[in-house]
Chain A
Amino acid sequence: ETGVTQSPTHLIKTRGQQVTLRCSSQSGHNTVSWYQQALGQGPQFIFQYYREEENGRGNFPPRFSGLQFPNYSSELNVNALELDDSALYLCASSKGTGGYNSPLHFGNGTRLTVT
């Protein structure tokens, strides 16, 4: 069983640029959620994709957007990068949209540094 894979593992961008992060969900999972983890903090929910549609969003501005593809893989796009966007971006897949019967399985994340 292949786990959640994310690419790239590390990325350095300049303020104002745009970035795309990619995630392949675990086999058999149909839902992808994205989280932002600042250094020394717990992950914060960005949004979830289910059946290729956004299905819930946290307190993040519209410059954070995403896509889910028919094979359930997903992309996170961030426009107009700000210094505070520097963080570990985690993708998590699940069999359903949440709760006890559809636990999150996280990838190892993409470390984004904005200079």
Chain B
Amino acid sequence: QQQVKQSPQSLIVQKGGISIINCAYENTAFDYFPWYQQFPGKGPALLIAIRPDVSEKKEGRFTISFNKSAKQFSLHIMDSQPGDSATYFCAASVYNNNDMRFGAGTRLTVKP
């Protein structure tokens, strides 16, 4: 059922560094691409999302880069902080459809 491939599985970054997580999708009908952050014992929380009509969206330290022709999108976390240590999921869905397809997740550890 998975139609979104996420890498890497885990990532260790020093405080202040840049964290980069990549995702690739197959279904060209997808038109909504959110990223979720999940802390242990909590549900996923929406971090940032993008539509395919733009190539980049930035919110604070978080940026999504989107490449429609390559069917790839990525999350960049600038100035990574220990508080960013969590599991990050990319996802994709078709408009007006909550059948969201999630990647397998990336466990990010930011070392102080």
A interface residues (Cβ-Cβ under 8 A, vs B): 4, 31, 33, 35, 40-45, 48, 56, 58-59, 90, 92, 94, 96-100, 102-109
B interface residues (Cβ-Cβ under 8 A, vs A): 1-2, 4, 6, 31-32, 34, 36, 41-46, 49, 51, 89, 91, 93-105
Please report the C-alpha to C-alpha distance between residue A4 and residue B42 in the assembled complex, in whole angstroms: 12
Residue of A nearest to B51 (CB): A100
| Contacting pair B104 A98 (CB below 8 A) | no
| Contacting pair B49 A56 (CB below 8 A) | no
Known: A48-B98, A106-B43, A108-B43. A58 touches B1 (CB 8 A): yes
Known: A42-B89, A106-B45. A100 touches B104 (CB 8 A): no
For A103, give its contact among B34, B42, B51, B97 (CB under 8 Å): B34
Residue of B nearest to A105 (CB): B46
Residue of B nearest to A49 (CB): B98
| Contacting pair A98 B95 (CB below 8 A) | yes
| Contacting pair A109 B43 (CB below 8 A) | yes
Q: Closest CB of chain B to A15's CB: distance in Å?
A: 24
| Contacting pair A104 B89 (CB below 8 A) | no
| Contacting pair A108 B103 (CB below 8 A) | no
